[in-house]
A = this chain, B = another copy of it.
Amino acid sequence: MTDPLPTGATIGILGGGQLGRMLSVAAARLGLRTHIYEPGSNPPAADVAHAVTTAPYDDVAALTAFAHSVDLVTFEFENIPTEALDIIEAITPIHPNRRALGTSQDRLVEKEFLRSIGLTVAPFAEITDAASLDAAIATVGTPAILKTRRFGYDGKGQARLKSPDDATEALADMADAPAVLEGFVDFSIEISIIAARNPQGQIACYDPGQNVHREGILHTTTVPAKLPASLRTDAVLLAAKILNTLDYVGVMGVELFVTPQGLIVNEIAPRVHNSGHWTQNGCAVDQFEQHIRAIAGWPLGDGGRHSDVVMENLIGADVDKVPALAKEPNCAIHLYGKVETKPGRKMGHVNRIKN
């Protein structure tokens, strides 16, 4: 157990996208500095960071210097090469820990972990070739989704099977990457719970948000979710079980399907999560500050909500709506500073405050 990070200490962040950007602002609010490590030039987080290293994840010298320049390291995305983490961890602590990261980097490992601690996941099977896919279709059934085990996000690396006839095409979409077949879950809504744990073992959760996706990308999160109190309790308990089992330090996003049989865990993300952006305008301590508090060894915020919020992502050309949104009362705008608009690119979000 170490002392809380003092004012002026520096947190290293792997990844300079919008999550790193908002983490950096939250760190500043607590008197802490950030150093961003990002291969791309002019990343969104650079605008609000104390220092930036622009280098690839296989640059041993850059990784070493980065690790020496900071007091601890965290990350904004889970697909960080293992070798880079090994170099950093020999020098300075990484939070959340490698076990949590390794678990979430691989859909198969993640599902097996969740099942091993007694949680419910969708039916699944490991896919290595056409034969294993045929066998999996027989047990998991169709419709189903074939997903790469690693490096998937926002609906990428996924193929739907409406019937067994789609097997060959779906497998081709995987381009020989190891995959998992997941059975469809008949759910009423998708929710997510943003949970945090600090090194002292304190756990805090925000109220679950109700998510709506469009074309595989989160569109809106509404808080509070339409959810019976018993399922709220279940969501908190299962999130706490995941965090405690992993000896987790930081914020985690847990996506859940609500079904007549209870909650099914869709996936976990060992980081701040898009479905937790509403906390910026609904809570005294938002998910970004909560993550910084956790990894810096501070007391956690209690997760209390002062306002109901609907978060809406601005994807691609949605950002053209900003002039109109700027005139809307009770609408908090959060742009990521990305100059080039691309289809499917997350350009920003708005939080509509509802009380």
Contacts and interface: CB of A to CB of B under 8 A. Distances in A.
Interface of A: 4, 7-8, 21, 24-25, 28-34, 46-50, 281, 284-285, 293, 298-299, 302, 304, 306-307, 319, 323, 326-327, 329-339, 348, 351, 353, 355
A339 B293 contact: no
Find the residue from A47, A48, A304, A326 having the highest chain B CB count within 10 A: A47
**Closest 7 A/B residue pairs (Cβ):** A31-B335, A8-B339, A284-B332, A48-B48, A299-B326, A47-B50, A299-B327
Given A48-B48, A281-B284, A336 B31 contact: yes
A22 to B, nearest CB: 9
A1 to B, nearest CB: 15
A31 B48 CA distance: 11
B323 A29 contact: no
12 contacts: A7-B319, A7-B338, A8-B337, A28-B47, A29-B334, A31-B348, A33-B337, A48-B48, A48-B49, A284-B329, A293-B326, A307-B307
Contacts of A30: 333, 335
A304 B352 CA distance: 13
B304 A335 contact: no
A90 to B, nearest CB: 27
Find the residue from A7, A30, A329, A338 having the highest chain B CB count within 10 A: A7
A304 B299 CA distance: 31
A337 B31 contact: yes
Find the residue from A50, A285, A306, A335 having the highest chain B CB count within 10 A: A306
Contacts of A307: 306-307
Nearest to A332: B284
A33 B339 CA distance: 11
Contacts of A330: 284, 304, 306
A344 B333 CA distance: 35
